[in-house]
Every structure is written in structure tokens, then in C-alpha cells.
Structure 1
Amino acid sequence: MNINSSGTNGLQGTTNYSRLTGMVSGFDTDGLVKASLSGDQAKIDKIKQSKELNMWMIDAYRDVTSSLQSFYNQFFDSVTSTTNLKLASTFSSYNTVLAAGSPSDVISVTAGVGVRAGVYSLSNIVAATNARISTGTDITKTVETGVISQADLDTIKSSNYNNIFKITLNGKTADITLDNDAGQIASVDDLVSQLQGKLNAAFGVDSSGNGKVKVENNGGKLKFTTVRNTDSFTIGTINNAGANKLFSTAPTETTPFDLNGGNNQFELTIGNNTKTVTVPPLAGNSTFTTADDLKAAIQNGIDAAFGAGSGITAEVNNGKVVLKSESAVNYSIGNTANGATNAILQIDSSNISNKVDLNTKLSSMGAGFAIDPFKNSDGTSIKNEDGTFSKNIEFTITSSKGTSTFSFDPATTSINDIMRKVNMDTTANATMSYDVTTNSFRIQAKDTGATSKLDIVDTAGGFMSSLGISGTGAVGSDASVTVTGDDGTSMTIVRPDNSFTYAGLTFNISKDLPIGADPIKVTVSGDTSKTFNTIKSFVDQYNALIDKLNTKISEKKERSYLPLTEAQKASMTTDQIEKWEVKAKTGLLQGNTDIQNTLDRLRTALYDSVEGVGISLYSIGITTSTDYRQKGKLVIDESKLKEALANNPDEVTNLFTAASDKSYYKASGDYAIKRERYRESGLADRFSDIIQDAIRTTPDARSNPGTLIMKAGQVGDASEYTNSLIKEILGFDKIIDELNAKLTSKENALYAKYANMEKMLSRMSAQSGWLASQFGGQ
């Protein structure tokens, strides 16, 4: 008996016989149904095999496409290839050598097409410059406090939480705790002495015993400096711990909570409004023995900051104070800075670092600059007394490309924000940068030469002036070099850029040749090895390519090996499946006309004459193998090729690089133009066109991609899912779905018939049993 599924129809004891089979008859119903459906399943398997073959075909096509693409990239791609046969420079048969002892960091020289062998003398070498404006010196003020009075010093106590501040040196942060509970700081000199010792303990000293951060008494002020100008330090504040302490304590008579200057504040944000909440003593008492009293004090602080009815109330939950939003508004809490120590020491929050913090908002760092960034040229300020701004800082940058106006809100903008905006502006055409070592800024035009210019003018505030990079009339200068040939003829070449070509020589100037230095001697001599190796590599790679393609289209197809069905795989081992599929995948591209056409065109292109060129591959020593089994592979007569490169380099170059004035795209839409372009093109463009006809992903003038791409597509391109083989696969999927639906329907019908038979047999058996019982009972 086979039970595929069972259930009830809602009435107790009533069985659904739709797939409860073989119970009475004893038949192998599943086997009978499977046998009845074998023809239908065979149809589905056949379509699945066709689908699998298509998927294998896609992989085979793409393997060929990949090989053609690699060959193209190596010899015909002007962007990525250093052996691009389309470029005349690839066939340069000259080598350049600087005379021994010449300063190679001044200029480099390479020989190209049209150069003459000989010895050249290079003098009066001047590098092209950008228009630029630099700070020149530190732009920030010396980090110095205000005058500290003795009365201020006397208030420093640990109990007042005004004896701790932070210092960060080169990324390392240390808390500096001043000791004055017993009156140790009786003067500013005492403060300096104690502070220097703590800084030395925190950050160490140099080899001479000097503190890395040095503090001095400068007329009652503290002056901070570093031993090295590469060091960067910042003075900061410690946090008030109220955000953590106030809402984590559970005060009782035995464990009271003492409110003090180190735990009495927290930052509260309600909606978009953020304020510092200071919790006051309750009825003059700073010690809390119940959560209810602490809750009342916290509520008083919230109401004082936001006013009654803020929507945030303090409540007690499990002995601790929690905040609750009565009106479902969003709120959050955080730490606040404890600036008590900084206030005692008269530390200005906008002058706390010896370097510029590029990420700090301008509004909080203005006073740290030697020049006020918010003052106009007439002395008026764009900053109001309440700290707000009457208008944005504004400035203009004029370059050779035009004038750009920049405007920034100091309250929301950092210097990094400004630098990014300036550097991205194409009209400003300039690069703005900061050197942390020298604490200085520089802005320079992106172009070089005498036409390079920069004018920077503050139009609201004095931001660029405060950075030391405002000014007008900055201009660049041209590059120049005097070239003297071995015949004594001199020529001075002037160019706006540091890289340029003249008479086949490409110059790259890095810096000026010092005045009075000897001229640089450059020897240009014939060198065919580079070109020979490039052409030999081309022939080798071509042979490897056509060998692979010939193998693909001549490989015999194993027609008795089809893709395995699921039932067949279930009866085989993994090793057997792998070996079977290797056989099944052979010969998938046998006789493929697309690949054969590409091969035929490549072979023809090698020996069709190039219009206007008097030589051929045969005449320079490159011929087709006489062994028919090589199927068109090339053979090089190395001596003949080297002789052609040495004696006739220009013609060899033209054989490969000759170019038509008819574009590839235009030719792809008109066969007459295509023939004309082919006739006028050298071997490189011919090969390039033939390969692109097969593998290009961009449509041609007839809106078609390459023949291989049209057939199987390319991974990462839209054609991956729109090629003809994929379309066939989608068609197979649709047929499979339809056949599966029919099979399922037929299967259900067969099971229903057998189930009905079982019910009839069951009834007959029951009747027979009843009759038997009746006769037996008499």
C-alpha cells in the first residue's frame, strides 16, 4: 500500500481517497501512474535538455568572445594597451639615453615617430608653473590663554569640578588634573610648573628632556607650543556625567545621590530643539535620598530650560528617574561639556589648537585666526553680537576659465566643506589645500603656463584673507627648453605644459635646471628590438587565438551524449556526471558560421594590400605556414623582419597604422563606405574592425551589436539577458511550465481514478464480508 497524502473532509472518520492508493487492491499505484506519465515526462526532459544545451552554448560563445576581447585589448585598445598597433609611437625604433651624471629629476626624453638619431644638448630648462597663492606662514594665533588672576587660581578645587581638562597630542588624549586642594598653586608660575610636569608625564619628553608640549608664563597668560612643528595638539573639555549618572542612580537613605558640578547637567533634544539642562538643588539641598525628590529637581531643570509644558516629564520607575514624552514628541539625551576648568584658565574655545581643524564649523573657530575671517575690508563685521551672522562669508575666484562666486553659512560650514566645493568647481579651475606641517594653505590653478591666472577676492567677510590666500594678479609661466643638435643648430621650444613633443622628441620637465649647470646631453639611437618584440608578440597571440577558434569550430560533437535528466543524475556518481558532461559539451560550436566568418576575414586582412603602402607582411618576413594542419598560423623570418625594421621603419609603421578618414561607426551602416574604409586602413584598424564586428556591445549604425554578442551576450552588459539564446531559453521555460501543468493535471486525474477504484473495491469487500457474516451466522 502506498500513501502519498491523506486528510479528512471535515467529518470525523471520513477519509479523502484522492491519493490513498493500493489499500484494497494492493497495486503499486505510484509505479502505474509514473509509467502512464513516462511519455509526458520524456517530453519535458527533452525540452529541459534543449535548455541546458543553450546554457552551455552561451558559455562556449562567451569563452570565444573573451579570447577575442583579450586580443583586442592587448593590440588595439588605445586606452589600456601599451602595445597598441594603431599608434605610430608603438613602432618607434629609437632609444634615448641621458649622459652619465645628468640630473634625471629635471627632465625625461623619449623618442617617437619622426625623430632623427644623434646627440642633443638640452639647456635653459624651465618648468611651467601654475598661478598660485600661498599662506607663507602659520595662519593661526599662538595658543594662549587670557590673563589668569590669583582669585581664579584659588577657586580651583576637585570639589568644584574645575580642575580637569583634556589635551590631545597627535591623536593621543590625556586628562590633565590640577592639584590645588591644599593650595599648591600659589601663582601662575606654580601653575606652569605643575602643568608642565603633568604634560611631560602624559606625553613624554624629547631626547633633550624637553616636554613635547611646552607651557610658559607669558605675562600671566599660559602659552602652549610644541617642540616640533609637525606636532598637532588641541585643548578640550571633559564631559559632565549627568546624562549617565542622573538616570542610573536609585537614591535611598543608605545610598544617597550627591548632586555636584560633575554630574548636574545633560543635553536634552526635543524635536529639533537642543538645550543644556542644569539640575538645581531641591530646596537648597544637593543630597537626594529618594527618587521622587531627584525627579522633582530634574523636572525643575527641564522646565527652566524649555519652559513648562515642554511635553517631557520626569517619572520614577523601579526606583530610578526616567523621562517620558507626554505628547509623543521625539526626544534624546546626551552628555554636555564641563568647561569650568577652561573658564578658570581663560581658555578661548576658538583658540585651542596649534593647527587648523578642517572639520570644525567656521562660527566656532574664527578667533583662532590671526586675521578675523568675519570682518569686511572696511572693518565692519558680518558677525552679530549674539553670535549669529548678518550674511554668509563670500568670495570670488577668477581663473583663466572665468569667475566663480562662493557663499557659505559659517554656522553650518567647515573649511573641508569649502575646499571640496572649490576643488570641484570647473570655472574656478583651482585646487585648494592645507599643509598640516606648516599650518598653511595654498590655492593654485589647475592649468599651467603664462595664461594660467588666479584672482581671489573676499566680497563678504575676510575668510580667504584669514587663510592668507586672497590676492589678485597671480599668474603662471610657460615651460621652455633650448635644444641643440649635433650639427650646432639650436631651437628654443616654449609650451604652456611640462609635457610636449617636438621633432619626434617628447619632453617631460619636472623642475628647472639650476642656473650655471651644464647642459643635459641626450643620445638618440636606433633600437628595433622594442618594435620587433611587439610584432612577434602580435603574431604569437594571433596564432594562439586562431588555434583556439579553429579547435572550437572543428571539434566533433558527441551526439550520443545529451544533458542528463534529473532521473539519470540520481543513478550516477558525481565523478560519472562530470565525465559525462565533459563529453556532452564537446563540439557545441562545430561548424559555427559566425566564428568561421571572423576567422576568414582576419586571414584575408593579413594579405590584402593597404592603399598607399608599398610593402606587405610577406615582404617583411611574415608568412602563412605551409603546413595545412596549422590552419593559417603565421611564421616569422626574424632576420627579414629585423632588416625591414632597420631599413624601412616608416613603411612598416604605415602597414600597421594607416588610417581611413571614414569612421568605423559610419562604415557599419553603409557597405560601400565599409569597403572603402577597409581598403584605406592598415592591419591594425582592419583587425580592430573585424573583432568589433563580432564582440562590440554598443549598437552600430544599423542598431545591432556584434554577431557573437547578439547570439550569447556578455556578462555585465544589457545583452547578458537580451541575446537570442536567452530568448530561446525563456521560450523553453514557458513550454516546460505548460507541460508541467498538463502533467500535474493528468497525474491528479490518474490518482483520482485509482482512488475511485479503491473505494469501489472497498465497498465490494465490505459487502462480501457482510454476506459472509450473514451466511456464517445462520
Structure 2
Amino acid sequence: MNINSNTNGVQGNTNYKRVTGMVSGFDTDALVKAALAKDQARIDKIKQSRELNMWMIDAYRDVTSSLQSFYNQFFDSVSSTTNLKLTSTFSSYTAAMAAGSSSDVISVVAGGGAKAGVYSLSDIVAATYARISMGANVTNTVETGVISQAALDTMKSSSYNNIFRITLNGKTVDITLDNDSGQLSSVDALVSQLQSKLNNAFGADSSGNGKIKVENDGGKLKFTTLRNTDTFNIGTVNNEGAGKLFSAVPSATSPFVLNGGNNQFELTIGNTAKTVTVQPLAGNSTFEKAEDLKTAIQNGIDAAFGAGAGVTADIKDGKVILKADAGVKFSTGYTVNKATNEILQIDYSNTSNKVDLKAVLSDIGAGFTIDPFKNSDGTSIKNPDGTFSKNIEFTITSSKGTAAFSFDPATTSISDIMRRVNMDTTANATMSYDVTSNSFTIQAKDSGATSKLDIVDTSGGLMSSLGIAGTGAVGSDASVTVTGADGTSMTIVRPNNSFTYAGLTFNISKDLPAGADPVKVTVTSDTSKTFDTIKSFVDQYNALIDKLNSKISEKKDRGYTPLTESQKASMTADQIQKWETKAKSGLLRGNTDIQNTLDRLRSALYGSVEGVGLSLYSIGITTSTDFRQKGKLVIDESKLKEALANNPDEVTNLFTATSDKSYYKASGDSEIKKERFKESGLADRFSDIIQDAIRTTPDAKSNVGTLIMKAGQVGDVSEYTNSLIKEVLGFDRTIADLNSKLTSKENTLYAKYANMEKMLSRMSSQSNWLSSQFSSGQ
């Protein structure tokens, strides 16, 4: 019984909402369940219909997957290695280089239309692209300003101005310079100590040469690397105040000592960021109480932002924390400690031996050998205060026209410029950076004699500083002289290094060296590859239609329907699986969408191709005479091989013939569709039919494929918009509505039974009272 009651004192209070037979002795749960049986059965029936729909979706998608796999193997322009739409797939020839020929200079592939024979290839010249590049290091050697001895003498560990940060090939090391006892008595002494510490940090070769070399260049530190593949960058250490000020728990035994390495943090209030410097309190840098440290931090905040900025220092668990007034947002961060770099006169625009492509131009401009901000007349677009009077501007003229570019040096990086240039279709060029040589190159995207590049700085001199300014850069055509076995020669000239002539596809990699022997190529007939491709197509087609036929002819076991939740509760997992296997049988029996696709595929095989004198039958491919095979194809191998040997071009056309009517236009007009079918070879016919079933993109009538429309495809928007899933969503709404009504009806029944129990309880109490009265009267 389901009892929900609570007792208060001796008498007790009973909650009768779902009392089940306490007085009457009735099994209320069973009575309510019986009363709602028809309602529950209606819900179960709709749930079964929903489950059938979900099974149908899976069954449809299984068919879609099979069609997609077949399409990908034989018709997809991206994934197929045996694309039946391409004439090269049906090439009955192979080209082989003679032993000793320069295969690194040129390669040859024989395709449709090639002729067997031995060919001699000479005077091979690769096409070139218009290209501009200085090919040399574009940045200055990394060096500091002149270091004074007076500045060196101030370097002390207690001042936190003796830490030098440097990164080599991604490894960052903080070098602590020793000068507390006056070790740095000269720049030479600084060079010696720094070199030793760098060697310890990054290693040296067997001769003791460090990966980074430091030299005294007239009182300046000059940094170079052992190898041009090494990349280094001089950095700046952080002031640790953002961490240490708010993690310290000051006490008499563990005081917090404020110094130049932990006295600052960045504070952002709203959209305003400032550096907060914490000063000693009443001249005392040692804090034994959190309250005193809190006061010092608050003084720093007020000094930076003014009193009442909305962020105040407080104490929690012995540590200083920051709190914001209502509606105020803030964040903290680390600041940099430039003390050491200032002593060493570090030039922040020239801290790396390579170009930092992501840094804004204004930060790195001075590091280039040629000033990127200087105009050709000697004036500069950079003002004395570091601002700019004009943008960096240049033009690129290619075979496509002239493109003009303009960039703000204060907000633009070289990476930004490269991306814009490389995307510009008029510039028609690719700008690249070689980290090894620390140089830039710009090359036209088209090759041949019409390829050209003119690059001119019109404001500032950025392209000159990158070594890629110039005019008159042009490309050249590719050429090869082909001599046949009969001694007849022809010279082929093309703008590209890959081209096809007379059935031979040439791919030139580089020029044939002067005086080198001609490249010998032997072209021979070989139908085995084409035979294997066609046989594979037939085998996969047979497997496909076998699966589709089995789906639409599978009998449905009507004695098995989707199980209800109550039925599953009394079954084992194995019993459920076996039941559902039978229940899922015949889901697609007689399906017209699949039957239509099968019928169209069969029709495509035997409809004549306009302008082609062969058919599948004439090349040895026919339908099985065994009706139980349901349209499977059989191959007369001898006949197919004979057709490939004697009439390869016609066999190729049978599969690859194309129509001038596009698939998209044909999808919107039945007459155009008929014309396209007649003119198309087997490959386009099959491709069209399969796409009509599984296409996820809309056609001219805004329809997707028939199977996609019905059941959708996982990962595509159709997964949630197909007709079957719409029915499922409708079932869900109906089930939710019926469940709501069922619950309401159930609550009403329980309330009635509870009321009955309550009345019976009162009657029983009254009866007991009367009995007690009669007993007392005796």
C-alpha cells in the first residue's frame, strides 16, 4: 500500500490524499490501474508507433549509407580513386621511364587517346612564376644601447633589477646576474658572466661555443646564434605582485617584505586598466599584519584610480582580497619588471633575431635593416612622438590587375598583411616568410610568360624593408620537345608545368640540365587496370542492389510489435533483443522510394548513350538470366577484354560521356532531365540517380533527396527536419498530452478513494463511540 501520513500527538492527523484501503481493505492501486488501463493502452500504442518510426529512420539511413558508399567509390570527384566520370580512369595505356632517365625532371602518365610507342623527351624547361625576394636577413643584429658603468653598479639582487629573461627555441630562462659584490666591473665582465650563464642554461657545442653568443660591441651587448635555425627573443620578467600581494599571510614570524619584484599589479576596473604600485607604509617595507598590508594596497589603488573607484581591499583568512561595490567589475593581472632591461639598454623594437609576424609594426619597425616607415624621399610617416601621420600603403600589380593596400602600423601585424595579400584575388600573389633565412618572398599564383608582379611602396617603405619591393618580375612558359620512334619531333609550350597533349599528361618538376641525355618514355597498351575497375563496379553494383532488394522484399513478422515498458520489465535483455530483431523485420517492404531508385538504376544501364556506338551488352555485361538474381549483372570477361583492346575510346565514352545540361537545371525541368539522361554516360546517369535519393543540398525545386527528405542524415540539418522525425515529434506531443490527462484522471480517482476511506473512517469512529456508550450504560 502507498501511505503518506504524519502523526501529531495522541490523536494523529492522517493525509488521505493517496490512502489505499486502510479502512475498506480495497487494493486501491489495482482498482486505479484497472480504471486507467484503456488510457494507458492508448499511450502505449502511440509509443509503439513512435518506436516504429525511429526504426524506420535507422533503416532508411542504412540504405542511404550504402548508396553514399557506392557513390563515393565510383562517382565522387574528391574521395574516389576510381571515378568513372574521368577518362583517365579508363586509360588503357601505361607510361614507363627507361632505366637511367631523369624521373626527377619530368613524369608522364598515359591516358585516353595515347598511342603506344617509345618517346624521347628533350629540351625540358619548367614554367616559372613571377617572383620577388631579396633572400637575405631583413632585420638588424640584436644589440642593446651603450651600457654605462654607473647603471651597472646599481644592479643588485635586493633591488630586483638583476634578472634577465631570454627565450631560445621555445625554452624561456631567467638569468640572475651577480653583482652584489661588484662582480660586474665592466661591460666585458658582464659579457663574460652572461655568456657563462647562457651556456649553462642552453648548452654549448663540443668546442665550447654557446648556442647564443654575446659580444661587447663598443659598450653594447650584441647577440647572435650559432645556427641560423635558432630563434631567440629577449623578454621581460614579471613583477610578481599580482600573486604574492594577495597570497601572503603576514605575521610576526612570517612577515611579508615588499620589494621591487612584488610591489605592482595590474588592476582593470570596468574598461580602464592601470598599474597599481604598493608603497612602504610609513617608510616600512616589512608587514607583520594583514591590516597594514591592506592599507598599503588600498593606498596604491587610490593613487592609481582616485578614492572611491569602487574596488576596496579587505581581509579574509589572513590574506588581503579585493572587493567590488555593487555593479562594479574588476580583474587583476601581472605587470612587467623592466628594471634589468633598462640598465642593459634593451631596445624593445629589436629583441629577436627573427621577425615577429604577430607583433604590430609600430613595435618592431626599428628592428628592420631598412626603415619600414621611411618614404622614398627620405621623409617618414612616423612622428617624433611615436604616432603616425599616414598608413603603410603599397600596390601589387599582377596579371589580374592592380591591388592597393593600406594598413595602420599601430594596429596591424605582418601576419595580418600577409593574410590580406594572400586572399586578394587581384593581387594574385602569395607572400611568405622563411624563418631560416629571416627573409620574405612574394610570388604570383599563375605561372608562364603572362605571370607578372610589380610591387611599389606608396606610403612608408614596408615592402622595401621586407625585401620584396620591385618591378618587372615575370614568369616563363614550360616546354618540352617530344620525339617519336619515327624521328618526328614536336615542341609543346604551355604556361603550366602540368599539361596534357595527345593522351599524355606531362608533369615537369625542373629543367633538364644542359648536356643531359633525353628522357626515354615507353607507352604500352594495358587494359588490366580498366578491366579491374569495371569488374569492381559491377561487383559493387550487384552487392548494392542485392541489399536494396532484400530490404524491400523482406517479410514482416506481424506477430511482433514494439515492446511496451511493462512488457520489457518482465523480460531479459537477450529476450528483448531477439524480440526486437523480429519486430524490425520488413520495415521497408514494398518501399516505393527504394524501388524507384532500383528501377532507375536498371534503366540507366540499358538506355543508349547518344553519340556512342557501344552498349553494356556489346562489351560483355548483361543481366543474369536467373530471375532470382533480381537484375544482377554478369560479365563475359573475354568479350569485355576484347572491347577494351579494340575499342577503348568507345568504352570510355560509354561511361564518361557528358551532357551540356547541368544536373541542377535538369532537377527543375523534366524535359531537360530527359535530354541530360540521353546525352550522359553511365557514370553521370548513376551519379544523378543516387544524388536524387541522397542529396542533402536543395535542387532547383528546393527539394533534397527522396531518402533524405524521408529520414534525414546524421550531422545534417535534415537530421531534425525530415518527415519521419516530424511524425516522431508529433507523437511526443500527443504522448505528453495524454500523460498529463492520465495523471489528472489518476489523481481524481485516488482523491475519490481517499474520500471514501475518510468517510469510512468517520463511520467506524462513530460506531466505536456508540459501542463504548452502550457499554458504559450497562
TM, length-normalised to structure 2: 0.91
Specify the code of the residue in structure 1 equivalent to 2:724: L
Change (3 A) 1:184 1:768: closer
Please list, as runs of the form range in 1=range in 2, the aligned pairs for 1:155-170 lying within 5 A after superposition: 155-170=154-169
Change (3 A) 1:711 1:259: closer
The 8 Å contact of residues 266 and 276 in structure 2, kept in 1 or not, is answered as yes
**Structure-2 separation of matches of 1:23 and 1:105:** 97
> Which stretch of the first structure deviates more once superposed, 627-636 or 693-702?
693-702
**In structure 2, what is the equivalent of residue 135 of structure 1?**
134
Deviations 1:305-331 (A, max 9, x none): 667786777778888766676897655
> Which stretch of the first structure deviates more once superposed, 645-654 or 475-484?
475-484
1:604 and 2:599 correspond: no
Please list, as runs of the form range in 1=range in 2, the aligned pairs for 1:642-661 lying within 5 A after superposition: 642-661=641-660
Please list, as runs of the form range in 1=range in 2, the aligned pairs for 1:255-334 lying within 5 A after superposition: 260-277=259-276, 330-334=329-333
**In structure 1, what is the equivalent of residue 522 of structure 2?**
523
Shift in Å, 1:449? 2.0
Deviations 1:736-768 (A, max 9, x none): 345444544444444344444434444443444
**Structure-2 separation of matches of 1:293 and 1:69:** 74
> Which stretch of the first structure deviates more once superposed, 12-21 or 351-360?
12-21
Deviations 1:223-248 (A, max 9, x none): 22221111122223333444455556
> Which stretch of the first structure deviates more once superposed, 758-767 or 406-415?
758-767
State percent identity of aligned pairs: 82
Change (3 A) 1:461 1:544: same
The 8 Å contact of residues 454 and 473 in structure 1, kept in 2 or not, is answered as yes
- SS of the equivalent of 2:492 reads strand
Change (3 A) 1:751 1:204: closer
**In structure 2, what is the equivalent of residue 506 of structure 1?**
505
CA RMSD of aligned residues (A): 3.2
Shift in Å, 1:300? 6.8
**Structure-1 separation of matches of 2:759 and 2:269:** 78
Please list, as runs of the form range in 1=range in 2, the aligned pairs for 1:183-202 lying within 5 A after superposition: 183-202=182-201
Specify the code of the residue in structure 2 equivalent to 1:216: E
**In structure 2, what is the equivalent of residue 478 of structure 1?**
477
**In structure 2, what is the equivalent of residue 582 of structure 1?**
581
Shift in Å, 1:445? 1.9
> Which stretch of the first structure deviates more once superposed, 261-270 or 440-449?
261-270
The 8 Å contact of residues 6 and 12 in structure 2, kept in 1 or not, is answered as no
**Structure-2 separation of matches of 1:732 and 1:156:** 80
**Structure-2 separation of matches of 1:264 and 1:483:** 79
**Structure-2 separation of matches of 1:742 and 1:282:** 74
**Structure-1 separation of matches of 2:317 and 2:559:** 80
**In structure 1, what is the equivalent of residue 662 of structure 2?**
663
- SS of the equivalent of 2:576 reads helix
1:722 and 2:698 correspond: no
**In structure 2, what is the equivalent of residue 101 of structure 1?**
100
> Which stretch of the first structure deviates more once superposed, 196-205 or 321-330?
321-330
- SS of the equivalent of 1:3 reads coil
> Which stretch of the first structure deviates more once superposed, 583-592 or 14-23?
14-23
Deviations 1:25-63 (A, max 9, x none): 212222223223323332332222222222212211221
Shift in Å, 1:576? 0.5
1:125 and 2:117 correspond: no
> Which stretch of the first structure deviates more once superposed, 322-331 or 440-449?
322-331
1:25 and 2:24 correspond: yes
Change (3 A) 1:252 1:575: closer
Deviations 1:482-521 (A, max 9, x none): 2222222222222222222111111222222222222211
**In structure 2, what is the equivalent of residue 90 of structure 1?**
89
Specify the code of the residue in structure 2 equivalent to 1:210: N
Shift in Å, 1:191? 3.0
**Structure-2 separation of matches of 1:38 and 1:328:** 58
Change (3 A) 1:601 1:323: closer
Where structure 1 has 5 or more consecutive residues not aligned to the other structure, the ranges are none
1:359 and 2:358 correspond: yes
**In structure 1, what is the equivalent of residue 490 of structure 2?**
491
Change (3 A) 1:140 1:575: same
Deviations 1:53-78 (A, max 9, x none): 22212211221122122112222223
The 8 Å contact of residues 6 and 19 in structure 1, kept in 2 or not, is answered as no
Specify the code of the residue in structure 2 equivalent to 1:555: E
**In structure 2, what is the equivalent of residue 640 of structure 1?**
639
**Structure-1 separation of matches of 2:127 and 2:364:** 37
**Structure-2 separation of matches of 1:327 and 1:403:** 56
Deviations 1:563-597 (A, max 9, x none): 11111111111110100111111112222233223
Shift in Å, 1:677? 3.2
The 8 Å contact of residues 163 and 174 in structure 2, kept in 1 or not, is answered as yes
- SS of the equivalent of 2:499 reads strand
**Structure-2 separation of matches of 1:204 and 1:597:** 74
> Which stretch of the first structure deviates more once superposed, 524-533 or 250-259?
250-259
Shift in Å, 1:602? 2.3
Change (3 A) 1:222 1:753: closer
**Structure-2 separation of matches of 1:253 and 1:749:** 73
Change (3 A) 1:684 1:20: same
Shift in Å, 1:290? 7.1
1:71 and 2:70 correspond: yes
> Which stretch of the first structure deviates more once superposed, 36-45 or 127-136?
36-45
Change (3 A) 1:282 1:653: closer
Where structure 2 has 5 or more consecutive residues not aligned to the other structure, the ranges are none
> Which stretch of the first structure deviates more once superposed, 699-708 or 475-484?
699-708
The 8 Å contact of residues 8 and 16 in structure 1, kept in 2 or not, is answered as no
> Which stretch of the first structure deviates more once superposed, 684-693 or 732-741?
732-741
**Structure-1 separation of matches of 2:737 and 2:276:** 71
Specify the code of the residue in structure 1 equivalent to 2:592: T
Change (3 A) 1:80 1:161: closer
The 8 Å contact of residues 254 and 288 in structure 2, kept in 1 or not, is answered as yes
- SS of the equivalent of 2:80 reads coil
Please list, as runs of the form range in 1=range in 2, the aligned pairs for 1:730-769 lying within 5 A after superposition: 730-769=729-768
Shift in Å, 1:635? 1.4
1:455 and 2:468 correspond: no
- How many aligned positions are there? 775
